[in-house]
Amino acid sequence: MRRNRSRCGSVWTVCMRAPRTCSRVIMAIPSSYEAVKKNLDAILADPATAFDVPSMEKLKLEITRNTDVSVPAFLITQISQVLPILQEDPTPLTSLGIKATAFLTFSDIQAVDPPVNLIAGIKAPSPPINLLALSLLAKANGSTGDAAIIAGNSELVSTLVEVWLSTSTTEVAQAAFDVLWSLLEVDHVNNENGEDYPSNAGGQGLLWRRLFNDKSVYGLFFSLTSLVDDEQAGRLSKRERSVAQGRLLEFIAKAGKLRWDAISNSHFPEIESKYQSHSLLHFAACRMIDTSDVLMHMTLLNFIRNFIQIQAPGLNVSRRDPAASQFSSRALDFLVKESIHQKILGFYLDPSQVDPIDITFLDSPITAYVAQYSQLYPNHLLQSPREVLDRILARIHRSFSIPSAQWAHGQVPTGDLTVLASLPRVMLVEANRRSLNPLQAVPSDPPNKDSLNTLATIFHGPPRDSLGEPSENIHKEATAARVLYFAYLNEHANFWKDIAASADIVAIPDVALAAIGLIRAVVTANWSTLSTEQAGQINSNSAFTLPSEAELASNGPGVLPTSGSWAILTPPALTTVLPYLFKPPLTYSNFVAGGVGDLESAVWRIATAKYDTLVEFHGALKSSPAQEDAFEDIIKTLEQRIRDGPQGPAIQVGSRIEALEL
């Protein structure tokens, strides 16, 4: 074996030659390193010296994981010396620093001599320098030990929190929050809420204690966001404090999922009482926001909507901690205790309580909260007084009383459609008996994507439980979805005719896709039935009763389909939807002089959605336990149509090409 040095482009290599083999190992020192080093030395000698940007950009490309650690260590030392004396935009230098240290660990950063002053970098009145310092600090999220080192530095944590809340640069604020949150995730001891975050056995909780048990740090949450005169807040304008409030609300919503006790417990009564509160959560939700500022009121409502996701039971309460409530959560309990929940629900039921101008901005977040609450807390909603439930139904019904032309071309009540789709289906079944069901007021014609999506959500039923036997709530909702489908079909004889026609409206692709989505929702529906015995057991303890299969069949023309796929094979869907599915998709040959531009995309998206529905339909029929002889011909036709692909038979593809040549 013989060793010789060769030049390969601008990078020195070592060539190890052996018979028929040659491996090249790139040396650790990038070729442009010396040029950058000389440029930085020149700037230190004369701050007016300009950056050698080409060399810096080249060095950024040359630095890899194999670069000798001494190179980035020396660069970050030199950069930290150059930054305080710069007379121009430091971005080329800070971006080099970020790339140079990309492969270093936090231990490597700590080993740099002289030490890097992270606090000065985070405090610097220069966003590029802030971002460089934060990128170095972010390396501590690699281990619990490094996070503990950060937690041990009170001044560093205070600086991080202060910059996050007070900086006017969004990019810096987001970077600071990302660093803080990543360190908190690494440092948390366990997931007391049992929610989205896995237990972290190595976490020590030191940073959590620093944030909430260090008076100088904890006080920043209040002083930088409070509307009252304060020595800290006085440095911030009202706009800057409003921005800080939004950032704190985002943090509280996330922190509550990880550590409910941290946001809800009192840590320093002398601080909290100064702001008329008894915890950080109480301060943020009840004291911090000036609701006369409509934009901040919207921010608060959006926070509350996200906040109630914490420990929400949903439908499948059997999968939760047995000690957890099947009806509520600590988040909702807090909102009820502080009358926040009742207040928002009151705004929804009676918008006149809100200023006429403000309601134009607040109606959307108010409605979104009601929809979120209805979806996440169905059992809590069903415990409400009948008067409240009837008022919700009446509000939705009133919003649907608009002309057909408005459903077709005007502004539709999308918020109330979302609320309707979020209500427990058993509530709608009960309302149907009293002719109060607003579902019957949702039109299938004229076609509207929002109304079709609402019908799809309700008729599809609840999500399937992948963990095994569904809970009683899911069973009831699956039964109610089927009941509502037949009830709607009885009142809307042309329902499937309208849907099949809408699915072919290529000129309005959103409507066509929504119609196809509705077909698919029924095909894949999660439906269930109740025997007479099951109905008796379920209905005995509930004000919202469901019909048994015998009761349902007695009001129908005969045996009713028990699955969505079977419903498609039953009139009236049989004579409208099935021919639509078997029909080859529309192509350019269906249009005069072909088509150009976005129509290409619309035709393809609609054809693909239709094809996916065919595949789902075929799978549902194949897996159906009640396959009848009549299904065989349909399944064969489906299989042939699936083999043809999204664009249909080959003759269709040919006509498509001919149309494109027009």
Please give the average pLDDT of every successive group of 10 residues along the chain, which has 662 residues.
37 34 56 93 92 94 88 92 91 94 92 92 95 96 93 97 96 98 90 49 84 96 86 75 97 96 96 96 96 96 97 69 74 97 97 94 97 96 96 97 92 97 97 95 95 98 72 91 95 96 92 97 94 82 87 76 92 92 72 47 88 92 68 83 80 45 38
Residue 3 pairs in a beta bridge with 16
Q: What 3 state SS string does 281-337 have?
A: HHHHHHHCCCCCCHHHHHHHHHHHHHHCCCCCCCCCHHHCCCCCCCCCCHHHHHHHH
Distance (Å) of CA 489 to CA 292, 441, 482, 567, 579: 47, 12, 11, 11, 19
449: phi then psi, degrees, rounded to nearest 5: -65, -35
Predicted confidence at residue 211, as pLDDT, reads 97
Predicted confidence at residue 13, as pLDDT, reads 31
Q: Note the pTM of the prediction, 2 decimals.
A: 0.87
The answer to whether the CB of 34 falls within 8 A of the CB of 74 is no
Residue 162 carries which side chain, given as an amino acid letter? E
CA atoms of 104 and 83, how far apart (whole Å): 20
> Torsion angle, CA of 148/151/155/157, rounded to 10 degrees?
120
Strand, helix or coil at 18? strand
Residue (of 470, 466, 450) closest to 458 by Cα position = 450
CA atoms of 454 and 140, how far apart (whole Å): 47
Structural Rg of the chain based on CA atoms: 32
Residue (of 205, 339, 217, 187) closest to 280 by Cα position = 217
Please state, as a whole number, how many other Cβ atoms lie within 10 Å of the Cβ of residue 290.
13
- Tokens coding 488: 């709607």
Burial (0-12, 13-18, 19+ Cβ within 10 Å), 294: middle
- Tokens coding 25: 């190992």
Predicted confidence at residue 325, as pLDDT, reads 72
